[in-house]
C-alpha cells in the first residue's frame, strides 16, 4: 500500500463523525441519541436547533461520557411541523453532517412518530429531516383494541373491538399500513359467524416495519394489541412478524432469504451464463426455479433449475440479460402449495471465489457486466454500455473542430457527424474519426430545412457493418458559454429565389451544439429604421403551435378590456388554430404580416422563450430586438426543477418576470435566478382567470411531463420513463379499481412523447383512453377531471387551485432533480407522492374510495391570489414598466 493510500485511510479514521444511533419517546418528547467520534477537544461548544419553516428553535441537549449526545425535541414543537423540518447540529462553531449509525440503519428509523393527528417520518441526510409525509390523512388519538386470532400462509385473522362499525355483516374493512415513507391498503373480509376479520394478500408490502391503522370514514385509528403476540406467518415474499411495542400494533416484514455456501458464475460459448450455487446445510430438497427481476422496467422472468448432487444450476440467456441495461436482482422461487421467493444471503467474501466482471458484445458494441453483492446482501447485476467519447473544442468561421474517440469499443463500425432537422429528421452526414474538422459552409444546410425557422441538431452516430444505427448521441461544445440570445458563429446565405437564410451556431442548456436558422423571404419588406418601435403594438404567443396557456388567455383579455393593438402568433397548421381562427389579429408564424408586426412591436410577451413569437433570432443586431420590452408571462409556477430562464442565460434578459407568490419571487426568481425586485411582479398567471369548476367530474387525468435526457427514439423506448408509464397503464389492480368504481383514466402524454405512447402501446384497457395532442385544451382537461396523476408538471398547481387532488409519480426523482431542486419537495408537491408503482396505485385507490376528496393543504405560499383578476394585474404591471422606460428615455435624452 503506497503512502497516499495510507494517508487517505488514516484521514478517514480520524475524520470527525456524528452518527445518530436511535430515537425514542420519553413521556411525550422525542429524543435522538448521537455517537460522537474523533472530537479530541475536551470542551465542546454544542448547539442543537430545530428548523420549522423559517423559524429556528433551540433544543435541549446533554453530553454523556464525552461521546454520546442526547437531543430532545419537545412535544409542542413536533405539533408545529406542517411539511418538513430539520434537526441541525453545530459543534465548536461548525455545522456538522449527521450520518446513520449501524444501529439506526438496522431499526429505529423505520418506526413512525405519531403526534396528535400527525404521522411524522424521519430521514437522515446531512441533518435529521422530520417530514409530515402523510399530511393528507387524519390520524386519530383514539386507540382501537385488537387481537390476533390465527395466522396462516398469507392470512392474518383479527378480532377488532369496534362493535358499532361491525353491525353490518357484509361491511368491508380496510387496514392502512404505514412505514416511514409509504402506505398500503389491506382489505379484509368479515367472518360473520365468528365475528373475525381476515386480511390476506400482503404481496404489495415491502420489507420493513409497518404500523397498522383502521380506516373508518376517512379517519385512521391506530390499532393496539390487547394481548402480547410474538408469532410469525409467511407470505410469498416475506416472513411476517406481529409486533407489539407499548401495545402499538406493527407488522415487520422480513424477506425470505437463503444462505449460500458457494457460488460460481461462468460464461459459456453459447452466450449464456451458468450459475451454480450450493446452499448452506444442503437444503435443496424443494422444487424451485430461478427468477430474474428488473425493478425499473417491471420485467420478471423465470428459468428452470437443475439439481446436480447438492448443487443447483441454471442457465441465464445473455440476450435476456441485455434486453434492458437496467440493474437486475436474482431470486430462488420455491414451488409448493405455499410458494416462497428467496433472496440470496451472500457472505462478503463469497463473490471473491468466482468471476464477477465480464465484457461481452451486444448490438455490435462492448457491454460491461458486473455481478455484485447488493446492500440487502442479495445478488445483483449491473450493466454499462461502451461510452461514446466525443466533443467539439473549437467553433470558428462556421467550421467546427472536435474529437471522436473510443471507436474500438464498437465492433466493425464507423462514426459520422449527423446534422438533422429537428422536425422532419432530414439530414446530412459527414464521416469522422479521431481529431476531425467539418466545414459547415460547404454543406447544403438549406436543403435539409423543413421550415423557414428551424433548428438543426448535431449528433454523433455509430453505424455497424450492416448499416444499422447502434448509437446516436448529441455532441457537446466543451468551451460553451450558454446564452439563449447569442451565438458562436454566424453566416447568411441566399437561395435561387433570393430568399435570405440566416444560420447561427449555438448550444442547448446542456452545451450540446446546434444550428439555428431563420429565413427572410424576398418579398418581405424590412423598414428603413428597424429601431423604431410602437409601444401600443404587443406581440404575444406560447409555443409556436399552441394556444391554450397564459398567452392566449392574456391576449383575449387584452382585446376585450384594453385599446392595446395586440397580436397572437401561431403556426398555420396548428390544431389549436381552429379554436382561435375567428379572433382578430391572429398571425401565422413566418408570414409577411408576422414580419411586419414583429418589426414594429415594442412589447413582446411569451410563455416560453421569445424564439417562439419572433420570426427571426431574438438577439442583439437582429431587427432592433434590443429596443423591445420583453415580458415573461410564464407557463407554470416555479419552485421545483431548475429552469432555463435564469438571468445569466441572456445577454438581454426579460424586463418583467411574472410569478404567482411572494416566495416564488424572492426565493426562486430573485435569490436563485438573479432578477432584481423591480423586474419581478407577483400577479398570478393569466390562465388562472379561467379556472372555474362547475360540475363535479368523475374521471382521472394522467399527464406526465418530459425527461430532458431523452434525445433519440432508441433512448425513449428503452427508458425507465417509457417503461414506468407503460407498466402503470397496464397494471391489473388499477384496471380492477377503474371497473369497480366506474372510473376512466384519460392519458395525455407530453407533446414530445405523444407519438411514442400512441404507436407503441397496443390494446389498452377499455377504461384507459388516449388523448391526442390538441384535441382538447389543457385547461379544459384540468376542469373535466376529478384527479390528476402527474410526476413533476407545474399544471398540478392549476389543479390544486381548483381544490382537487393531485397524485405524483416520483419513480425517478433523484435523476429528475440531479441538478438540484429549488424548494423542498414537501413545499411544492401538494398531494400524494408515490415512488413505486404499487405505492402509486395505493394512493389512487385511497382517493377513489374517498370520492376524490382533496388533500388538506394550505396553498397561499404557492399561489397568492385566488381570484379571476390575474390578467388585470399583469396588464397594470406591463403598463407601469412601459411608463418607467418612457420616463427613463426622456431623462436620458435631456
Confidence of residue 169 (pLDDT cuts 50, 70, 90): very low
Cα distances from 579 to residues 146, 537, 696, in angstroms, run 60, 23, 25
Number of Cβ within 10 Å of residue 835's Cβ equals: 15
Cα–Cα distance measured from residue 447 to residue 422, given in angstroms and rounded to the nearest whole number: 14
Q: What residue has cell string 430586438?
A: 625
Which one has a higher pLDDT value, 714 or 582? Answer: 582
**Is the pLDDT reported for residue 131 higher than 90?**
no
Give yes or no for residue 163 having a pLDDT over 60.
no
Predicted local confidence at residue 164, as pLDDT: 47
DSSP labels, 499-513: -EEEEEEEE-TT-BE
Distance CA 586, CA 287 (A): 72
Give me the pLDDT at residue 372, please.
94
Name residues whose C-beta falls within 8 Å of residue 177's C-beta, 6 or more positions apart in sequence.
183, 184, 185, 186, 205, 210, 211, 212, 213, 251
CA distances from 127 to 215, 261, 677 (A): 33, 40, 32
For residue range 15-27, list pLDDT tens digits in order.
788 999 988 888 8
Strand 173-178 with 155-160, pairing: unpaired
Comparison of pLDDT for 640 and 205, the residue scoring more: 205
| Residue 749 near residue 704 (C-beta atoms within 8 A) | yes
Residue 367 confidence class, pLDDT cut points 50, 70, 90? very high
- The C-alpha atoms of residue 386 and residue 365 are separated, in whole angstroms, by 7
Cell numbers 410474538 label which residue? Answer: 230
Residue 138's pLDDT is 82
Contacts of 139 (CB under 8 A, 6+ apart): 114, 116, 117, 118, 119, 213, 219, 220, 222
Mean pLDDT for the stretch of residues 501-524: 96
Q: In whole angstroms, what is the distance from residue 282 CA to residue 300 CA?
A: 27
User: Which residues make beta-bridge pairs with 204?
Assistant: none
Burial class (CB in 10 A: 0-12, 13-18, 19+), 432: buried
Cβ(279)–Cβ(708) below 8 Å: no
Q: Taking a C-beta distance cutoff of 8 angstroms, is the pair 636, 644 a contact?
A: no
Q: Where are the domains of the chain?
A: 18-131, 144-255, 257-385, 390-520, 534-689, 693-849
Fold of 257-385: Immunoglobulin-like (2.60.40)
Residues 591 and 615: their CA atoms lie apart, in Å, by 8
Three-class secondary structure of residue 736 per DSSP: helix
The predicted structure's pLDDT at residue 819: 65
How much is the pTM? 0.77
Calculated CA dihedral for residues 278, 284, 288, 294, nearest 10 degrees = -30
The C-alpha R_g of the chain, in whole angstroms, comes to 31
Residue that wins the pLDDT comparison between 259 and 271? 259
CB-based contact 344:260 (threshold 8 Å): yes
Q: What is the mean pLDDT of residues 364-373?
A: 94
Q: What are phi and psi of 825, to 5 degrees?
A: -55, -40
Q: Which helix (H) or strand (E) holds 269?
A: none
Q: How far is 244 from 11, CA to CA, in rounded Å?
A: 44
| Element housing 263 (H / E) | strand 257-267
CATH of domain 18-131: 2.60.40
CATH fold, domain 693-849, is: Rossmann fold (3.40.50)
Residue 167 pLDDT exceeds 70: no
Of the pLDDT bands very low, low, confident and very high (cuts 50, 70, 90), residue 365 is very high
Enumerate helices (H) and strands (E) in the chain, giving the number of each.
18, 56
- Residue among 192, 208, 281 nearest 240 (CA): 208
How far is CA 488 from its chain centroid? Answer: 33
491 class by beta-carbon count within 10 Å (0-12 exposed, 13-18 middle, 19+ buried): middle
804 φ, ψ (degrees, to nearest 5): -125, 155
pLDDT tops 90 at residue 181: no
588-597 confidence digits (pLDDT tens):
999 999 999 9
Q: 61: Cβ–Cβ under 8 A, 6 or more apart, which residues?
A: 46, 48, 69, 70, 71, 72
Residue 732 has pLDDT above 80, yes or no: yes
Beta bridge partners of 516: 455, 504
608/250 Cα distance (integer angstroms):
51
pLDDT at 292: 95
pLDDT of residue 168: 47
One CATH from 3.40.210, 2.60.40, 2.60.120, 1.10.20 for 390-520? 2.60.40
Angle made by CA atoms 259, 263, 267, in degrees to the nearest 5: 150
Specify the pLDDT at position 780: 86
Contacts 24+ apart (CB under 8 A), 588-593: 589/453, 589/544, 589/615, 590/451, 590/452, 590/453, 590/519, 590/615, 592/521, 592/523, 592/524, 592/525
Query: Which DSSP category does 408 fall into?
Result: G
Residues with Cβ within 8 Å of 375's Cβ and at least 6 positions away in sequence, in order, are none
What is the C-alpha to C-alpha distance for residues 662 and 761, in angstroms, rounded to an integer?
Answer: 43
Instruction: Give the HSE-up count for residue 64: Cα atoms under 13 Å, Cβ half-sphere.
Output: 8
The set of cell numbers assigned to 124 is 437522515
N residues, the chain: 894
DSSP state of 822: S
Q: Do domains 18-131 and 693-849 have the same CATH topology?
A: no
d(CA 880, CA 635): 22
Q: How many CB atoms lie within 10 A of CB 717?
A: 13
Q: Using an 8 Å Cβ cutoff, are 856 and 135 in contact?
A: yes
Residues 402-420 have a mean pLDDT of 94
DSSP 756: H
pLDDT score of 205 more than 80: yes
More confident residue, 774 or 524: 524
Fold of the CATH domain 534-689: Rossmann fold (3.40.50)
The share of the chain scoring above pLDDT 90, in percent, equals 51
Q: What percent of the chain has pLDDT over 70?
A: 93
Convert the pLDDT of each residue in 739-783 to its tens digit. 999 999 999 988 888 887 877 666 788 899 888 877 788 888 888
Q: Is the pLDDT of residue 110 over 70?
A: no
Q: Tell me if 599 sits within 8 A of 624, measured CB to CB.
A: yes
Q: Which is it for strands 806-809 and 787-790: parallel, antiparallel or unpaired?
A: parallel
Amino acid at each position: 500500500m503506497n503512502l497516499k493510500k495510507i494517508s487517505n485511510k488514516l484521514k478517514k479514521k480520524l475524520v470527525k463523525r456524528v452518527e445518530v444511533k436511535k430515537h425514542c419517546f420519553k413521556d411525550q418528547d422525542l429524543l435522538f441519541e448521537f455517537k460522537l467520534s474523533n472530537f479530541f477537544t475536551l470542551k465542546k461548544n454544542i448547539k442543537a436547533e430545530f428548523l420549522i419553516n423559517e423559524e429556528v428553535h433551540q433544543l435541549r441537549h446533554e453530553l454523556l461520557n464525552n461521546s454520546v449526545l442526547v437531543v430532545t425535541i419537545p412535544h409542542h414543537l413536533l405539533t408545529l411541523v406542517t411539511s418538513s423540518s430539520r434537526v441541525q447540529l453545530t459543534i465548536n462553531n461548525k455545522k456538522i453532517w449527521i450520518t446513520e449509525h449501524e444501529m439506526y440503519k438496522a431499526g429505529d428509523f423505520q418506526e413512525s412518530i405519531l403526534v396528535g393527528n400527525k404521522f411524522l417520518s424521519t430521514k437522515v441526510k446531512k441533518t435529521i429531516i422530520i417530514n409530515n409525509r402523510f399530511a393528507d390523512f387524519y390520524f386519530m388519538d383514539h386507540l382501537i383494541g385488537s387481537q390476533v386470532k390465527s395466522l396462516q400462509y398469507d392470512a392474518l385473522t383479527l378480532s377488532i373491538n369496534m362493535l358499532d362499525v361491525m353491525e353490518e355483516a357484509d361491511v368491508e374493512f380496510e387496514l392502512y399500513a404505514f412505514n416511514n415513507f409509504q402506505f398500503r391498503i389491506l382489505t379484509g373480509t368479515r367472518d360473520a359467524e365468528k365475528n373475525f376479520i381476515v386480511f390476506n394478500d400482503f404481496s404489495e408490502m415491502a420489507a420493513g416495519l409497518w404500523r397498522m391503522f383502521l380506516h373508518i370514514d376517512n379517519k385512521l385509528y391506530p390499532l393496539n394489541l390487547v394481548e402480547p403476540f410474538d408469532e410469525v406467518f409467511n407470505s410469498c415474499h416475506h416472513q411476517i412478524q406481529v409486533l407489539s411495542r407499548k401495545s402499538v400494533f406493527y407488522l415487520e416484514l422480513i424477506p425470505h432469504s437463503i444462505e449460500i455456501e458457494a457460488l460460481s458464475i461462468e460464461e459459456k460459448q453459447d452466450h449464456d451464463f451458468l450459475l451454480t450455487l450450493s446452499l448452506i446445510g444442503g437444503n435443496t430438497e424443494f422444487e424451485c426455479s430461478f427468477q430474474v427481476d428488473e425493478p425499473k422496467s417491471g420485467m420478471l422472468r423465470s428459468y428452470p433449475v437443475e439439481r446436480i448432487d447438492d448443487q443447483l444450476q441454471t442457465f441465464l440467456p445473455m440476450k435476456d440479460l441485455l434486453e434492458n441495461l437496467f440493474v437486475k436482482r436474482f431470486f430462488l422461487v420455491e414451488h409448493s402449495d405455499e410458494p416462497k421467493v428467496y433472496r440470496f444471503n451472500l457472505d462478503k467474501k463469497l463473490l471473491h471465489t468466482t468471476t464477477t466482471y465480464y465484457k461481452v458484445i451486444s448490438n455490435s458494441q462492448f457491454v460491461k457486466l458486473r455481478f455484485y453483492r447488493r446492500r440487502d446482501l442479495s445478488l445483483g447485476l449491473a450493466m454499462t454500455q461502451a461510452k461514446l467519447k466525443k466533443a467539439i473544442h473549437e467553433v470558428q468561421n462556421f467550421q467546427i473542430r472536435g474529437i471522436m474517440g473510443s471507436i474500438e469499443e464498437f465492433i466493425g463500425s464507423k462514426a459520422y457527424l449527423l446534422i438533422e432537422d429537428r422536425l422532419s429528421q432530414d439530414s446530412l452526414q459527414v464521416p469522422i474519426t479521431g481529431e476531425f474538422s467539418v466545414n459547415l459552409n460547404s454543406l447544403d444546410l438549406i436543403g435539409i430545412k423543413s421550415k423557414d425557422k428551424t433548428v438543426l441538431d448535431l449528433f454523433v452516430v455509430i453505424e455497424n457493418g450492416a448499416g444499422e444505427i447502434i448509437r446516436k448521441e448529441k455532441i457537446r461544445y466543451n468551451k460553451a458559454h450558454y446564452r439563449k440570445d447569442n451565438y458562436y458563429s454566424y453566416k447568411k446565405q441566399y437561395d435561387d429565389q433570393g430568399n435570405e437564410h440566416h444560420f447561427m451556431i449555438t448550444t442547448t442548456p446542456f452545451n450540446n451544439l446546434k444550428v439555428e436558422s431563420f429565413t427572410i423571404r424576398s418579398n418581405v419588406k424590412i423598414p428603413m429604421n428597424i429601431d423604431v418601435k410602437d409601444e401600443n403594438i404587443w406581440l404575444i404567443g406560447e409555443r409556436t403551435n399552441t394556444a391554450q396557456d397564459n398567452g392566449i388567455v392574456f391576449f383575449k383579455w387584452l382585446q376585450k378590456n384594453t385599446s392595446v393593438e395586440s397580436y397572437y402568433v401561431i403556426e398555420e397548421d396548428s390544431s389549436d388554430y381552429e379554436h382561435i381562427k375567428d379572433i382578430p389579429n391572429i398571425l401565422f408564424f413566418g408570414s409577411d404580416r408576422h414580419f411586419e408586426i414583429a418589426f414594429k412591436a415594442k412589447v413582446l410577451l411569451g410563455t416560453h422563450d421569445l424564439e417562439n413569437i419572433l420570426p427571426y433570432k431574438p438577439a442583439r443586431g437582429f431587427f432592433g430586438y434590443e429596443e423591445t420590452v420583453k415580458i415573461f408571462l410564464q407557463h407554470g409556477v416555479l419552485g421545483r426543477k431548475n429552469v432555463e430562464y435564469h438571468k445569466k442565460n441572456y445577454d438581454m434578459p426579460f424586463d418583467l418576470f411574472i410569478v404567482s407568490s411572494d416566495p416564488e419571487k424572492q426565493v426562486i426568481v430573485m435569490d436563485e435566478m438573479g432578477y432584481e425586485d423591480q423586474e419581478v411582479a407577483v400577479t398570478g398567471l393569466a390562465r388562472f382567470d379561467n379556472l372555474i369548476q362547475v360540475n363535479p367530474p368523475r374521471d382521472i387525468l394522467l399527464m406526465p411531463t418530459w425527461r430532458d435526457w431523452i434525445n433519440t427514439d432508441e433512448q425513449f423506448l428503452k427508458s425507465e420513463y417509457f417503461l414506468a408509464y407503460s407498466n402503470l397503464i397496464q397494471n391489473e389492480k388499477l384496471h380492477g379499481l377503474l371497473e369497480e368504481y366506474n372510473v376512466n383514466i384519460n392519458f395525455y402524454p407530453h407533446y414530445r412523447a405523444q407519438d411514442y405512447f400512441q404507436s407503441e402501446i397496443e390494446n389498452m384497457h377499455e377504461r384507459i383512453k388516449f388523448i391526442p395532442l390538441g384535441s382538447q385544451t389543457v385547461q379544459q382537461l384540468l376542469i373535466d377531471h376529478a384527479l390528476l396523476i402527474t410526476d413533476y408538471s407545474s399544471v398540478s398547481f392549476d389543479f390544486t387551485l381548483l381544490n382537487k387532488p393531485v397524485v405524483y409519480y416520483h419513480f425517478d426523482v433523484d435523476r429528475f432533480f440531479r441538478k438540484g431542486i429549488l424548494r423542498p419537495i414537501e413545499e411544492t408537491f401538494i398531494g400524494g407522492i408515490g415512488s413505486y408503482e404499487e405505492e402509486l396505485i395505493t394512493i389512487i385507490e385511497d382517493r377513489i374510495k374517498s370520492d376524490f376528496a382533496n388533500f388538506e393543504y394550505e396553498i397561499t405560499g404557492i399561489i397568492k391570489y385566488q381570484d379571476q383578476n390575474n390578467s388585470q394585474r399583469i396588464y397594470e404591471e406591463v403598463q407601469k414598466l412601459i411608463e418607467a422606460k418612457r420616463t427613463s428615455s426622456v431623462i436620458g435624452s435631456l
